[in-house]
């Protein structure tokens, strides 16, 4: 095979499709996650605000951090799927997917969602971080080391 050898073909693509559907379910439905004062997120933010060391973790900062974290697996799985030579497509597809989400939120879900440039930036940043992590894994894993080759080496002659 080319730069995409046996270990990077099936599983990363299947997981990428599932994870893309997960992100779509979170971001493209009219219902937002509960963020009011009586929700789990509201209680967690109140708890963080009550301590001097964590008071800086406001809702806005947690939301931006959440956007970055949500797209890291997307970029990572895309990089694994595309391989060493085209790992950067994880970053590019993450930016495109994020732009599509924001456009959909800004045109179709205008009553319940808000399209923001900061979401586009933080989602793209997360995809870029994930793609870089994917590249690191691709470089760290020896290219020719598959289970079959190691079994051949251990097999008695």
In this predicted model, what pLDDT tens digit does every residue of 50-102 receive, in sequence order?
888 888 888 889 889 999 999 999 999 999 999 999 999 999 999 999 999 99
Question: Does residue 46 sit within a domain?
Answer: no
Local structure of residue 146 (DSSP, 8 states):
-
pLDDT at 138 (0 to 100)? 94
Q: Is 97 exposed, middle or buried (0-12, 13-18, 19+ CB in 10 A)?
A: buried
Could you tell me the residue range of the domain that residue 95 belongs to? 64-140
Give the model confidence (pLDDT) of 18-44 as tens digits.
999 999 999 998 877 666 667 777 788
Contact 105, 36 (CB under 8 A): no
- For the cut 60, the answer to whether the pLDDT of residue 152 exceeds it is no
Tally the domains of the chain. Answer: 1
Q: What does pTM read for this prediction?
A: 0.79
pLDDT at 67 (0 to 100)? 95
């Amino acid at each position: 095979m080319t730069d995409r050898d046996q270990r990077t073909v099936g599983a990363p693509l299947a997981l990428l499709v599932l994870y893309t559907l997960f992100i779509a379910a979170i971001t493209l439905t009219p219902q937002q996650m509960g963020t009011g004062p009586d929700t789990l997120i509201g209680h967690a933010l109140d708890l963080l605000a009550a301590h001097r060391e964590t008071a800086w973790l406001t809702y806005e900062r947690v939301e931006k951090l959440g956007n970055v974290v949500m797209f890291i697996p997307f970029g990572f799985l895309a990089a694994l799927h595309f391989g060493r030579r085209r790992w950067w497509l994880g970053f590019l597809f993450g930016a495109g997917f994020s732009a599509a989400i924001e456009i959909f939120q800004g045109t179709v879900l205008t009553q319940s969602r808000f399209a923001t440039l900061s979401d586009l930036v933080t989602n793209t940043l997360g995809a870029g971080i994930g793609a870089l992590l994917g590249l690191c894994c691709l470089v760290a894993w020896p290219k020719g080391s598959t289970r079959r080759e190691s079994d051949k080496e251990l097999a008695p002659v």
